[in-house]
């Protein structure tokens, strides 16, 4: 099948050819004709499957009859609204829209928080047919009366599961209620929970379900590997891996912003070209870090789940989980950065004793066991037990200080740090807080609803319901003291 077989207009075919795409990906082959025919879609597809073009191309096709070269703003009302959970994803979708629409007079713009709203207002005033936005900033524009939804004929909710995780559903619902009832709606999500289905019920009319990767499944082109390693040995092992020559470029995932910054500093000190990307970074810093990484100036991009969402880096062969996510779906999202569009990829996870429970959850979700490879000199804690409840006693515990007694005084202030969660909208009227939750004035303070534990190995672990009791004791020094 070719793109021409899908019934796309010549202007769009030219743009696709310019990109060097020879044939549609499975989701494109399925979605494009359906969207062109006006159907609502519920799309189960991970990032990397070509889903952006799968909704952007047919939406452009449907808008094309209204396209106008007139400079008059009245000729360029918002006809399609694409909602994305993070600024990075919004920007990437916007770039795709620009790419695929470049041979048409259709105008697109991107609106996200954390930056001055005034240039966005000015651009909206000039008229734009396709608006890509994060929910919080879009609502700012609604309050400002800088956007009108009267002519919206298509709505896309991209990465709906992430919207949900980040607490955006009330914002999305408010936006849905403002849109014309007569419209086409498309919802894309890598995973499908009951909540996503409920959201789909409220926004879609007789949707057609398209799934390219099975639910919560990861691409078959990715190999998975776990290195069991003590919490204390993780940094050394990561440095060794990054210096081994096997890994040229990779994204390394941490759970918290502070953990992310700390690891970046440590890697830099070890001579590794590393940079951090997380929610405490300004928008400009995040763009710069991403550009430097894409340009090959940095080798390791240290990221939190929120910041890395939707990152599209071509040919990324490695993703490293420095810490396992506490939600198995996040593993699927994380490793979606590699093995894209049919390419091969590698997902490496450094797993310490207290993370085995999360590993088991991940294996259950992806329905396969992950190979475990111990690296000499970087053994896990003696308490490391896989599968849990089937402990093989190790000959001798590593001759290291117990985790709980490690000094790192300078880092103690982050004992209560939280996993990075969201671009959620905070209270209004504080000019230092962007609509999508980015707070310029102070460190992250949001409480986490799931009882997540901080990333520090010194931190109190009692809040985490998934953590095995025995290992909690080890983290608190109970078992460690025995040795």
Residues near ligand AMP (CB under 6 A): 21, 24-25, 28, 47-53, 312, 314, 340-341
**Smallest separation, CB 286 to ligand AMP (Å):** 18
Q: Reading across the β-sheet that carries 154-157, which strands appear in turn?
A: 108-111, 130-133, 80-83, 154-157, 184-189, 41-44, 208-211
57 vs 433, beta carbon nearer ligand AMP: 57
**Smallest separation, CB 410 to ligand AMP (Å):** 39
**Smallest separation, CB 445 to ligand AMP (Å):** 32
47 vs 104, beta carbon nearer ligand AMP: 47
| Upstream peptide bond of 387 is cis (omega within 30 degrees of 0) | yes
Using CA atoms, how far apart are residues 350 and 365, in angstroms rounded to an integer? 18
**Smallest separation, CB 441 to ligand AMP (Å):** 33
Helix H or strand E encompassing 225: strand 222-228
Using CA atoms, how far apart are residues 151 and 51, in angstroms rounded to an integer? 24
User: In this structure, what token pair is assigned to residue 157?
Assistant: 């909710």
SS3 of 303, please? Answer: strand
Contact by Cβ (8 Å): 425, 166:
no
Contact by Cβ (8 Å): 83, 157:
yes
Using CA atoms, how far apart are residues 119 and 107, in angstroms rounded to an integer? 16
Axis-axis angle for helices 87-100, 283-294 (nearest 10): 60
**Smallest separation, CB 19 to ligand AMP (Å):** 6
Contact by Cβ (8 Å): 106, 395:
no
- Residue appearing with tokens 């498309």: 186
233 vs 339, beta carbon nearer ligand AMP: 339
End-to-end, the C-alpha distance of the chain in Å comes to 64
**Smallest separation, CB 207 to ligand AMP (Å):** 20
Contact by Cβ (8 Å): 135, 175:
yes
314 vs 445, beta carbon nearer ligand AMP: 314
**Smallest separation, CB 87 to ligand AMP (Å):** 16
22 vs 244, beta carbon nearer ligand AMP: 22
157 vs 370, beta carbon nearer ligand AMP: 157
- Which residues in 107-218 belong to E strands, given as ranges? 108-111, 130-133, 154-157, 184-189, 208-211
50 vs 325, beta carbon nearer ligand AMP: 50
**Smallest separation, CB 312 to ligand AMP (Å):** 5
Contact by Cβ (8 Å): 140, 113:
yes
Q: What is the four-CA torsion angle of 442, 257, 218, 215, rounded to 10 degrees?
A: -40
209 vs 341, beta carbon nearer ligand AMP: 341
13 vs 292, beta carbon nearer ligand AMP: 13
**Smallest separation, CB 23 to ligand AMP (Å):** 6
32 vs 475, beta carbon nearer ligand AMP: 32
**Smallest separation, CB 59 to ligand AMP (Å):** 14
- Which residues in 10-103 belong to E strands, given as ranges? 41-44, 80-83
């Amino acid at each position: 099948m070719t793109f021409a077989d899908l019934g796309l207009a010549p202007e769009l075919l030219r743009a696709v050819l310019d990109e060097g795409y020879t044939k549609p990906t499975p989701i494109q082959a399925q979605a494009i004709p359906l969207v062109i025919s006006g159907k609502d879609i519920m799309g189960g597809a991970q990032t990397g499957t070509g889903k952006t073009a799968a909704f952007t191309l047919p939406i452009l096709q449907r808008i094309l009859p209204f396209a106008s070269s007139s400079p008059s703003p009245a000729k360029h009302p918002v006809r399609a609204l694409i909602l994305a959970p993070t600024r990075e994803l919004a920007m990437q979708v916007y770039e795709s829209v620009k790419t695929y629409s470049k041979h048409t007079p259709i105008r697109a713009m991107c609106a996200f928080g954390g930056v001055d709203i005034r240039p966005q207002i000015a651009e909206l005033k000039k008229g734009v047919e396709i608006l890509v936005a994060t929910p919080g900033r879009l609502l700012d524009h609604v309050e400002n009366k800088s956007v009108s939804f009267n002519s919206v004929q298509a709505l896309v909710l991209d990465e709906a599961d992430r919207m949900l995780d980040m607490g955006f559903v009330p914002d999305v619902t408010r936006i849905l209620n403002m849109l014309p009832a007569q419209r086409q709606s498309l919802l894309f999500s890598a995973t499908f929970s009951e909540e996503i289905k409920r959201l789909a019920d409220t926004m879609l009319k007789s949707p057609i379900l398209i799934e390219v990767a099975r639910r919560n499944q990861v691409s078959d082109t990715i190999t998975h590997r776990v290195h069991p390693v003590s919490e204390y040995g993780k940094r050394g092992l990561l440095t060794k891996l990054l210096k081994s020559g096997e890994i040229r470029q990779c994204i390394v995932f941490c759970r918290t912003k502070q953990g992310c910054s700390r690891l970046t500093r440590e890697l830099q000190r070890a001579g590794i070209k590393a940079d951090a990307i997380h929610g405490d970074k300004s928008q400009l810093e995040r763009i710069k870090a991403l550009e430097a990484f894409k340009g090959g100036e940095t080798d390791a991009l240290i990221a939190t789940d929120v910041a890395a969402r939707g990152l599209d880096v071509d040919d990324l062969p490695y993703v490293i989980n420095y810490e396992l996510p506490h939600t198995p779906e996040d593993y699927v999202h994380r490793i979606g950065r590699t093995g894209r569009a049919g390419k091969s990829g590698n997902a490496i996870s450094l797993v310490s004793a207290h993370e085995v429970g999360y590993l088991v959850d991940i294996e259950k979700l992806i329905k396969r066991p992950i190979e475990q490879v111990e690296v000499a000199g970087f053994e896990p804690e003696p308490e490391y037990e896989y599968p849990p409840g089937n402990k093989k006693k190790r000959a001798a515990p590593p001759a290291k200080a117990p985790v709980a007694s490690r000094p790192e005084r300078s880092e103690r202030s982050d004992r209560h740090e939280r996993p990075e969660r969201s671009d959620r909208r905070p209270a209004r009227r504080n000019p230092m807080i962007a609509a999508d939750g980015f707070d310029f004035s102070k460190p992250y303070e949001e409480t986490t609803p799931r009882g997540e534990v901080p990333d520090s190995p010194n931190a109190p672990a009692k809040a985490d319901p998934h953590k095995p009791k025995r290992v909690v004791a080890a983290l608190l020094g109970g078992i460690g003291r025995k040795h």
